[in-house]
Amino acid sequence: MPPLHPELRRVRFLPSPPVRRGTAGVLRWLTSKMRPGPVPAGISVERRTVPGPPGAPPVEVWVYRPEGVVGATPALLWIHGGGHVMGHPVQDEKGSIAFARDLGITVVAVRYRLAPAHPAPAGLEDARAALSWMAEQAGALGVDPGRIAVGGASAGGGMAAALAQMCRDRGGPALVFQLLVYPMLDDRTALRTDLDTANMYLWSPAANRYAWSALLGREPGSEEVPPYAAPARREDLSGLPPAWIGVGTNDLFHDEDVAYARRLEAAGVPCALSLVPGAFHGFEIPFADTGVVRGFRAEQTEALRAALLPAP
């Protein structure tokens, strides 16, 4: 395992969240109680409820939009992380606001149903319902339906990859890009016994196994999993939108992310791969003010800019 990045070494003094059957409910409750911070001038934030999947409850979305924009903007559907078992759009609000402000785009962050109470494909269907609403209500939202991207971090990144697959199979809504930030893609990683975890932090193999079990409703690594639950299981990756994948060399998901990026390229899907030396899973969260995190965020912004705001 590579040494920790110099700017991230203080993680050794931080506790890792104990994500397991006995504690996941408490962590889920804590994240549900997160409150938004102050909204900077020039950005509007609106909490809305949109139609859910057939036979399911409505879906909550948070819409971030730059004020004073004339005409339709590109848009990003953002899917939060949390191992499928916890999380809330508010945890990524600073990032959503930054994308909206720096790029002049509309960001829609979806609050989806969580496992184990709602195993796959409930959360993903909620995300697709939000995406369908964006496309169908593009005029009212001030969104260009021909310039919509999907993105997410960790479990949200895996869901973004799965949503791109689902949209391809179901004939829409059309996506122009997928931004996958250290995505959780492959349940089979939970079975690996050869991992060097000496410099892995914040997300452990034990947490990963519990999260996949909660999502799948069975032990990970089974011969069959629910469709789209584990995007890396998909054999045919052709016809998907271009992608950007970013992951640290010390991330539990490093190997599965690199493999997915290479498979996308082999299938004819352009995919930029950004590897951050010495970075662990979720390193952006506790060290947001470091240069390595600012650089990682800047790469994401520029990838979205190139996809959604291409030069003439």
From the candidates 80, 88, 254, 281, give the one annotated as an active-site residue.
281
Q: State whether the Cα torsion 246-251-253-258 is positive or negative.
A: positive
The pLDDT, as a whole number, for residue 24 is 65
In percent, the amount of the chain with pLDDT more than 70 equals 98
The mean pLDDT value for 115-140 works out to 97
Active site (annotated) includes residue 213: no
The pLDDT, as a whole number, for residue 145 is 97
The mean pLDDT value for 210-229 works out to 94
Confidence of residue 39 (pLDDT cuts 50, 70, 90): confident
Residue 184, pLDDT above cutoff 80:
yes
Confidence of residue 21 (pLDDT cuts 50, 70, 90): confident
The mean pLDDT value for 301-308 works out to 98
Angle, alpha carbons 170-231-54 (nearest 5°): 40
Residue 308: which region, alpha, beta or left (left: phi > 0; alpha: psi -120 to 50)? alpha
Residue 27, pLDDT above cutoff 80:
no
Is the whole-model pTM more than 0.85?
yes
Half-sphere exposure at residue 310, Cβ-oriented, CA atoms within 13 angstroms: 6
Active site (annotated) includes residue 222: no
From the candidates 126, 144, 186, 251, give the one annotated as an active-site residue.
251
Q: How far apart are CA 103 and CA 302, in angstroms?
A: 9
For 89-122, what is each residue's pLDDT tens digit? 999 999 999 999 999 999 999 999 999 999 999 9
From the candidates 5, 88, 154, 254, give the one annotated as an active-site residue.
154
- Tell me phi and psi for residue 196, to 5 degrees: -90, 110
For 43-99, what is each residue's pLDDT tens digit? 999 999 999 999 999 999 999 999 988 889 999 999 999 999 999 999 999 999 999
The mean pLDDT value for 6-28 works out to 78
Instruction: Report yes or no: 37 and 99 within 8 Å, Cβ to Cβ.
Output: no
Instruction: Report yes or no: 213 and 279 within 8 Å, Cβ to Cβ.
Output: no
Q: Which two tokens stand for residue 39?
A: 């909204």
The mean pLDDT value for 257-280 works out to 98
Active site (annotated) includes residue 144: no
> Top-level CATH class of 6-308?
alpha beta
The domain segmentation of the chain, as residue ranges, is 6-308
The pLDDT, as a whole number, for residue 265 is 98
Q: How far apart are CA 230 and CA 158, in angstroms?
A: 8
**DSSP secondary structure letters along the chain:** -PPPPGGGGGGGGSPPP--STTTHHHHHHHHHT----PPPTTEEEEEEEE--STTS--EEEEEEEETT--S-EEEEEEE--STTTS--GGGGHHHHHHHHHHH--EEEEEE---TTTS-TTHHHHHHHHHHHHHHHTHHHHTEEEEEEEEEEETHHHHHHHHHHHHHHHHT-S--SEEEEES----GGGGG-S----TT--SS-HHHHHHHHHHHHTS-TT-S---TTSSGGG-S--TTPPPEEEEEETT-TTHHHHHHHHHHHHHTT--EEEEEETT--TTTTTTTTTSHHHHHHHHHHHHHHHHHHS---
